[in-house]
C-alpha cells in the first residue's frame, strides 16, 4: 500500500466516523434513499475536510485500484459515507468510464460536475425483463438509437436505473445499426419519463431505482461516448472496476457492522456470562473475522489484476461472487448475534444486511457470474485438448 493512499484513507476514516456517522439518524429521506439535501449538506463538509472524491487526485488522475480499495473501504464504514465522499454507485463507475473514454469536451461538460460533487448521474443499461430486454445479458438490448442529421434519436424502456430521479447526467446504452452504443444525455429531459420508482429492499441510493420510458429523445451527435457500435467494449471498461468498487464499499460497511456486533456481544450478559463467551456467539464473530480478511485479500488481488492493465472480466466475477457471498454471511451473523436489536433500525446492522442482500444481485447475480466462469473453464479445456 502506498503512503499517499494510507494518508487519504486515514483522513476519510476520521471524517466518516466523526462527521458522517452522526447523520445515520437524520430523518431526511425521500422514501427510497437519503434526500439530495442531506447528500449535498454532507458533501459540503467533505469538501471542507478535503475528502470529497478522494480517489481522484487534483490533477485528474485516478488512484490505482489497489489504493482505491483502501480508500473506498473507509468511505463504506457508514452507508452514508460513499454519498458524502462522492464515491457512491453509479457515479463512481460513471466517472471512471468518462475519464477513460470521454472526449475533452465531454469531460469538461459531464465529468467535471460529477468529480466536483455538484451533480449526480445515472447509467441506463438494464431493461424490463417482461419485455425480453437486456439484464444480465446485455446482448438482448432493445433500446434503439438512429442517426437523424446531426442528432441521435433514442427510443426504449429501462428498468432498475439507480439514481435517475434527481440525476443531472445520464449515460444511455442503446443499439444502433453498428451495434451497442453509449450516449451522454442531460437530465432531466421531457423525453425521458420516470414511470415509477421501485420499492426495493435497499435504501442507500438517492433517487432509488426507476423504470424509465425513453420516447424520441434527441441528443446531439457529439454526445456519443466514443464510437457507435463499441458500447459493449466500453461497458467492460466500466463494469469490472464498478463491480470491485461495490465490494470495497460494502466491505467497509460489514466491517462496521462487525464492530457493532462485537461491542454488543462483549457488553451483553446472558446466562451468567458475557454473550461472546458463549461458543455459538464467539465462533460467529471469529467466522466474521475470517470472511472479512478473505474479502479484503480477494479485493486486493483483483485490484492488482486491473492495475496490471487487464480488463479483469473473469477476475472481477470471481471477486464479486466470493466477496458478496462472504459479506452476506457476515451481515447475517451480525444480525443473529444481536438478536432482536439486530433487526431494528437502532443500529446500521439491519440496513447493511438489506443492502448486502441486494448486492448479491446487483452488478450480476452470483449465478450469472458462475455460469460465465463455467463457460471460461470449458473454453480453456477445449483449447488445451485441441477441440
Mean pLDDT over all residues of the chain? 95
CA distances from 116 to 57, 271, 321 (A): 11, 54, 32
CA distance from start to end of the chain = 43
Q: Write the pLDDT tens digit of every residue in 40-63.
A: 999 999 999 999 999 999 888 899
Band of residue 134 on the pLDDT scale cut at 50, 70, 90: confident
User: What pLDDT is attached to residue 144?
Assistant: 96
Work out the average pLDDT over 199-206. 94
Q: Could you tell me which of 329, 251, 294 has the C-alpha nearest to residue 68?
A: 251
Which residues fall within 8 angstroms of residue 294, CB to CB, at 6 or more apart?
Answer: 322, 326
* CA-atom Rg of the chain in angstroms: 21
Give the cell for residue 345.
433500525
Band of residue 237 on the pLDDT scale cut at 50, 70, 90: confident
Strands 273-274 and 169-176: unpaired
User: What pLDDT is attached to residue 323?
Assistant: 98
Please determine, for residue 208, whether its predicted confidence score (pLDDT) is greater than 90.
yes
Task: Give ∠ CA 349-270-273 in degrees, rounded to 5.
Answer: 115
User: What pLDDT is attached to residue 1?
Assistant: 78
Please determine, for residue 76, whether its predicted confidence score (pLDDT) is greater than 90.
yes
User: Domain ranges in the chain?
Assistant: 3-88, 121-229, 232-384
Q: Is the peptide bond before 188 cis (omega within 30 degrees of 0)?
A: yes
User: What pLDDT is attached to residue 82?
Assistant: 98
Band of residue 30 on the pLDDT scale cut at 50, 70, 90: confident
Q: Is 368 helix (H, G, I), strand (E, B) or coil?
A: helix
Q: Write the pLDDT tens digit of every residue in 91-125.
A: 999 999 999 999 999 999 999 999 999 999 999 99
User: What pLDDT is attached to residue 131?
Assistant: 83
- Beta bridge partners of residue 146, listed in sequence order: 153
Q: What's 232-384's CATH class? A: mainly alpha
Please determine, for residue 354, whether its predicted confidence score (pLDDT) is greater than 80.
yes
Please determine, for residue 72, whether its predicted confidence score (pLDDT) is greater than 90.
yes
Please determine, for residue 361, whether its predicted confidence score (pLDDT) is greater than 90.
yes
Q: Write the pLDDT tens digit of every residue in 277-303.
A: 999 999 999 999 999 999 999 999 999
Task: Give ∠ CA 120-121-123 in degrees, rounded to 5.
Answer: 160
User: What pLDDT is attached to residue 261?
Assistant: 98
Report the percent of the chain where pLDDT is more than 70: 100
Q: How far apart (Å, rounded) are the C-alpha atoms in residues 183 and 93?
A: 15
User: What pLDDT is attached to residue 8?
Assistant: 97
User: What pLDDT is attached to residue 129?
Assistant: 86
Q: Could you tell me which of 169, 191, 192, 172 has the C-alpha nearest to residue 181?
A: 172
Work out the average pLDDT over 23-46. 94
Question: Is-contact 174 141, C-beta < 8 A?
Answer: yes
Q: How far apart (Å, rounded) are the C-alpha atoms in residues 328 and 318?
A: 16
Q: pTM higher than 0.85, yes or no? A: yes
Work out the average pLDDT over 256-270. 97
121-229: CATH number? 2.40.110.10
User: What pLDDT is attached to residue 122?
Assistant: 97
User: What pLDDT is attached to residue 135?
Assistant: 80
Band of residue 276 on the pLDDT scale cut at 50, 70, 90: very high
Contacts 24+ apart (CB under 8 A), 110-113: 110/169, 110/184, 113/168, 113/169
Which residues fall within 8 angstroms of residue 347, CB to CB, at 6 or more apart?
Answer: 257, 260, 338, 341
Amino acid at each position: 500500500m502506498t503512503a499517499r493512499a494510507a494518508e487519504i484513507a486515514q483522513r476519510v476514516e476520521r471524517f466518516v466516523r466523526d462527521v458522517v456517522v452522526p447523520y445515520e439518524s437524520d430523518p431526511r429521506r425521500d422514501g427510497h434513499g437519503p434526500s439530495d439535501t442531506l447528500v449535498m449538506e454532507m458533501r459540503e463538509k467533505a469538501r471542507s475536510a478535503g475528502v470529497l472524491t478522494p480517489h481522484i487526485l487534483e490533477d485528474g488522475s485516478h488512484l490505482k485500484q489497489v489504493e482505491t480499495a483502501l480508500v473506498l473501504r473507509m468511505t463504506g464504514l457508514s452507508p452514508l459515507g460513499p454519498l458524502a465522499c462522492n464515491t457512491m454507485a453509479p457515479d463512481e463507475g460513471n466517472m471512471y468510464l468518462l475519464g477513460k473514454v470521454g472526449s475533452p469536451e465531454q469531460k469538461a461538460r459531464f465529468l467535471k460536475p460529477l468529480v466536483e460533487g455538484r451533480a449526480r448521474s445515472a447509467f441506463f443499461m438494464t431493461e424490463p425483463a417482461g419485455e425480453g430486454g437486456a439484464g444480465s445479458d446485455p446482448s438482448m438490448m432493445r433500446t434503439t438509437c438512429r442517426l437523424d442529421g446531426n442528432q441521435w434519436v433514442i427510443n426504449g424502456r429501462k428498468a432498475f436505473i439507480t439514481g435517475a430521479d434527481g440525476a443531472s447526467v445520464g449515460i444511455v446504452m442503446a443499439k444502433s445499426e453498428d451495434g451497442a452504443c453509449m450516449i451522454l444525455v442531460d437530465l432531466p429531459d421531457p423525453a425521458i419519463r420516470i414511470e415509477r420508482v421501485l420499492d426495493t429492499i435497499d435504501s442507500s441510493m438517492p433517487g432509488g431505482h426507476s423504470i424509465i420510458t425513453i420516447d424520441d429523445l434527441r441528443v446531439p451527435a457529439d454526445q456519443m461516448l466514443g464510437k457507435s457500435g463499441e458500447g459493449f467494449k466500453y461497458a467492460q471498461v466500466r463494469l469490472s472496476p464498478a463491480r470491485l468498487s461495490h465490494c470495497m464499499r460494502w466491505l467497509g460497511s460489514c466491517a462496521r457492522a462487525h464492530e457493532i456486533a462485537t461491542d454488543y456481544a462483549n457488553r451483553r450478559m446472558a446466562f451468567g456470562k458475557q454473550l461472546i463467551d458463549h461458543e455459538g456467539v464467539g465462533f460467529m464473530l471469529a467466522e466474521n473475522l475470517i470472511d472479512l480478511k478473505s474479502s479484503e485479500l480477494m479485493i486486493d488481488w483483483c485490484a492488482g489484476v486491473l492495475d496490471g492493465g487487464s480488463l479483469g472480466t473473469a477476475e472481477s466475477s470471481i471477486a464479486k461472487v466470493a466477496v458478496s457471498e462472504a459479506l452476506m454471511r457476515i451481515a447475517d451473523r451480525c444480525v443473529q448475534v444481536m438478536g432482536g436489536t439486530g433487526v431494528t433500525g437502532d443500529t446500521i446492522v439491519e440496513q447493511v444486511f438489506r443492502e448486502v442482500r441486494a448486492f448479491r444481485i446487483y452488478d450480476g447475480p452470483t449465478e450469472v457470474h458462475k455460469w460465465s466462469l463455467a463457460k471460461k473453464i470449458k473454453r480453456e479445456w477445449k483449447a488445451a485438448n485441441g477441440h
